[in-house]
Amino acid sequence: MNLSLGVKVLVVIICALASVIIGMVAGLLNHDPGTPKRKSVIFGGGVFGGSLTLAVMVLSALGVL
């Protein structure tokens, strides 16, 4: 696909927003009551990084980026 730069930027922004939502849900699911929130925040950040990396790699393999 031959997409313009603006469309490619929008696709990356959509991937980042979806990854934020996935990371927040993972952090909420990982949190145990009575424990520090730091562990859940770090876990959610790791899931965010992993999901964003996976999304960008899949889109690159498909030729979108």
More confident residue, 16 or 65: 16
pLDDT in tens, 42-60: 999 999 999 999 999 999 9
Enumerate the H helices of 1-65 as residue ranges: 5-30, 38-62
**pLDDT for the residue numbered 2:** 86
Does residue 39 contact residue 30 with C-beta atoms inside 8 Å?
A: yes
In this prediction the pTM is 0.88
Q: Give the pLDDT score at 15.
A: 96
- pLDDT (0 to 100) of residue 1: 74
What are the structure tokens assigned to 32, written together? 């145990």
Report, in angstroms and rounded to the nearest whole number, the Rg of the chain calculated over CA atoms. Answer: 15
Residue-wise pLDDT tens digits, 20-42: 999 999 999 999 998 899 999 99
C-beta separation of 14 from 40 below 8 A: no
